[in-house]
């Protein structure tokens, strides 16, 4: 396959076979699976390539609210999502004496924003999304070795000796994205990459996560409560914070975050590029066993009890980088999720923002004309970044506040004090801003958003599916899609 952006030719659609652009997605995480789901529903050809040989049941719990409810409803999976999740009405912020210091209240979210918030384990939500993608479109054991990206198409070469060709390449492969590295290497050679994007990924925390086996109410009393008990404990004069979440399945998901200084950063740097897995978790697990948790009743449990109840394959350790890259696309290549913005887990917004990326990008890819040229594809990518960039930065700033809230310095203590005493009307305004962006898929039947506060503007919602050129008198008219208009908004 020849890929040469310098080659120019007259693009006459009447002489070309009619086809939608072929999309190659690298990374079978939540963002990649969501994009695959939407492209499948749009009838756009795609394949997903994952470097791992299988999906491991790693990770803790995730919180989804009204910002993703419309997507789940449009895809016909909202009822299953709700039945698999557990309602969250508040976050209990506690001390090491297991006393509740204050609550972050989410009461009334359904009335305000059209849907409540639910805790769901990461393996459960992943399975729900993965089942929406036909298995023949997902390919495991595909580690990217190299990629070519030019005016005529994209080409990926994998470590097993195979190749894949397409029209669009999507990097959904995480914080150390091979697709981003390939794109940035080419831009570095061309001297077009901003210096900020060439700097290493900064990190300030490392986390240990897990999910227990099914527990009884005798073992963990709060398991029996109808709502999820979301408890966050801030360490007393030690650089840790930890949270527990009860799930619909009778398990407890948990996360312990260590806030790093110069010395502990050096100790943990070896894990920077390692995969999540139980091998890296043992040493950290031994250090945090005595940390007290809130379990309800008269139980005085610790993280050690949860660790003992957690199967080894369900526990992992990972670095938590934080950065919003400036460059999200180049020619026919585009990035979504952690590949272009990595949040600290303290804010709990990484997954929902990856899903938002997938919605907007799917809308704009679907709006491309049949057999699009590189400039049309790049205009769609620009519209995608224009819609998402400021929203992502606002979410990034919010996650930093949550990270600071759990620290031990003066700024952290001040942030907790403000959070504890913030007037309700101020808190309500913060919630309105954080929950106002509730995007929908433009090419699926829209759902009624019943929230009292209307959704924020979504430019990509105006992008229409193009008409097949063979059904039109003039093939050139198919180029008049709203993609360019969306890019200008």
Give me the residue label for tokens 């700097």.
199
Residue 37 lies in a domain: yes
Residue 288 lies in a domain: no
Contacts of 127 (CB under 8 A, 6+ apart): none
Residue 310 lies in a domain: no
* pLDDT value at residue 167: 97
Check if the beta carbon of residue 2 is closer than 8 Å to that of residue 165. Answer: no
Interval 87-94 mean pLDDT: 91
Percent of the chain past pLDDT 90, that is, above it, reads 60
Task: Grade residue 483 by pLDDT with cuts at 50, 70 and 90.
Answer: very low
Q: What is the CA radius of gyration of the chain?
A: 23
Kindly report, residue by residue over 204-245, the tens digit of the pLDDT. Answer: 788 899 999 999 999 999 999 999 999 999 888 888 989 999
Q: Where are the alpha helices (DSSP H) in 22-118?
A: 30-42, 66-74, 78-84, 109-113
* pLDDT value at residue 277: 53
- The domain containing residue 138 runs over which residues? 14-200+322-488
And the tokens for 292? 């007290």
Q: Which of 286, 346, 289, 281 is nearest to 314 (CA)?
A: 281
Please give the Cα distance from 340 to 333 (Å, whole number).
12
Residue 387 lies in a domain: yes
Count the neighbouring beta carbons within 10 Å of the beta carbon of residue 207.
21
Residue 92 lies in a domain: yes
CATH number of the domain encompassing residue 108: 3.50.50.60
Count the neighbouring beta carbons within 10 Å of the beta carbon of residue 464.
14
* pLDDT value at residue 231: 94
Residue 253 lies in a domain: no
Percent of the chain past pLDDT 70, that is, above it, reads 82
When divided into structural domains, the chain yields a total of 1
Task: Grade residue 77 by pLDDT with cuts at 50, 70 and 90.
Answer: very high
Interval 191-204 mean pLDDT: 91
Please give the Cα distance from 146 to 169 (Å, whole number).
12
Task: Grade residue 477 by pLDDT with cuts at 50, 70 and 90.
Answer: very low
pLDDT surpassing 70 at residue 410: no
Q: Which residue has the higher pLDDT, 273 or 390?
A: 390
Please give the Cα distance from 109 to 71 (Å, whole number).
17
Helix (H/G/I), strand (E/B), else coil: 156? strand
Kindly report, residue by residue over 155-172, the tens digit of the pLDDT. Answer: 999 999 999 999 999 999
pLDDT surpassing 60 at residue 274: no
And the tokens for 392? 């992502």
pLDDT surpassing 60 at residue 10: no
And the tokens for 267? 């100790």
Task: Grade residue 267 by pLDDT with cuts at 50, 70 and 90.
Answer: low
Residue 378 lies in a domain: yes
Q: Which of 228, 255, 391 is nearest to 314 (CA)?
A: 255
pTM for this entry: 0.88
Residue 78 lies in a domain: yes
Interval 30-54 mean pLDDT: 96
Interval 298-304 mean pLDDT: 93
Interval 108-117 mean pLDDT: 89
**Phi/psi at 149 (nearest 5 deg)?**
-145, 110
And the tokens for 70? 């419309």
* pLDDT value at residue 306: 97
Average pLDDT of every residue of the chain: 85
Check if the beta carbon of residue 29 is closer than 8 Å to that of residue 52. Answer: no
């Amino acid at each position: 396959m020849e890929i040469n952006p310098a080659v120019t030719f007259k693009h006459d659609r009447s002489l070309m076979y009619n086809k939608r652009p072929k999309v190659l997605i690298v990374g079978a995480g939540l963002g990649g699976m969501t994009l695959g789901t939407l492209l499948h529903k749009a009838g756009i050809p795609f394949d997903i390539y994952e470097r791992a040989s299988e999906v491991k049941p790693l990770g803790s719990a995730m919180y989804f609210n009204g910002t993703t409810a419309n997507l789940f409803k449009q895809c016909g999976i909202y009822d299953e999502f709700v039945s698999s999740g557990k309602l969250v009405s508040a976050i209990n912020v506690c001390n090491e004496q297991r006393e509740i210091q204050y609550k972050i209240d989410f009461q009334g979210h359904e009335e305000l924003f059209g849907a409540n918030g639910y805790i769901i384990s990461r393996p459960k939500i992943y399975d729900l999304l993965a089942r929406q993608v036909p298995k023949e479109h997902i390919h495991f054991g595909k580690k990217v070795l190299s990629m070519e990206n030019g005016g005529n198409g994209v080409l990926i070469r994998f470590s097993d000796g195979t190749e894949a060709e397409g029209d669009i390449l999507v990097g959904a492969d995480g914080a150390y994205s091979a697709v981003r590295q390939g794109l940035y290497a080419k831009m570095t050679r061309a001297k077009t990459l901003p210096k900020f994007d060439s700097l290493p990924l900064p990190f300030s925390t490392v986390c240990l996560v897990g999910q227990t086996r099914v527990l009884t109410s005798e073992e963990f009393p709060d398991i029996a409560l109808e709502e999820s008990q979301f408890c966050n404990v801030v360490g007393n004069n030690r650089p840790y914070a930890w949270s527990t979440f009860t799930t619909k399945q009778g398990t407890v998901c948990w996360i312990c975050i260590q806030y790093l200084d110069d010395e502990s950063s050096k100790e943990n740097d070896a894990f920077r590029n390692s995969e999540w897995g139980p091998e890296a978790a043992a040493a950290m697990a031994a250090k945090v066993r005595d940390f007290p948790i809130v379990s309800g009743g008269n139980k005085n449990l610790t993280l050690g009890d949860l660790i003992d109840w957690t199967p080894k394959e369900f526990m992992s350790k990972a670095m938590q980088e934080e950065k919003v890259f400036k460059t999200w696309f180049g020619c026919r290549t585009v990035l979504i999720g952690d590949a272009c913005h990595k949040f600290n887990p303290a804010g709990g917004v990484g997954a929902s923002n990856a899903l938002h990326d997938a919605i907007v990008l799917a809308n704009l890819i679907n709006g491309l004309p049949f057999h699009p040229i590189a400039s049309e594809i790049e205009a769609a990518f620009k519209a995608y970044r224009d819609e998402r960039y400021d929203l992502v930065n606002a979410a990034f700033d919010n996650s930093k506040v949550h990270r600071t809230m759990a620290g031990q310095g003066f700024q952290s203590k001040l942030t907790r004090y403000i959070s504890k005493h913030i007037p309700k009307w101020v808190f309500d305004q913060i919630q309105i801003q954080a929950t106002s962006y509730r995007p929908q898929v433009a090419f699926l039947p829209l759902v009624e958003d019943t929230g009292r506060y209307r959704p924020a503007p979504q430019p990509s919602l105006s992008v229409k599916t193009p008409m097949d050129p063979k059904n039109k008198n003039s093939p050139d008219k198919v180029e008049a899609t709203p993609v360019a208009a969306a890019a200008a908004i």
